[in-house]
Amino acid sequence: NIPRKSLDYRTPLEVFLSYVSIDDLSNLI
């Protein structure tokens, strides 16, 4: 199981990727 603390902490990049999908990125290109 993943420790709870690791779930509470996310890097800015991970947060960004969670809101932006691959399809959204392809539309920007």
The full set of domain ranges for the chain reads: 1-29
pTM of structure = 0.34
- Determine the Cα angle at 25 with ends 16 and 4, to 5°: 25
Question: What is residue 15's predicted lDDT score, i.e. its pLDDT?
Answer: 79
Per-residue DSSP letters for 1-29?
A: ---HHHHH---HHHHHHHHS-HHHHHHH-
The predicted-structure confidence for 1-29, as pLDDT tens digits, reads as follows 556 666 566 787 787 777 777 777 788 77
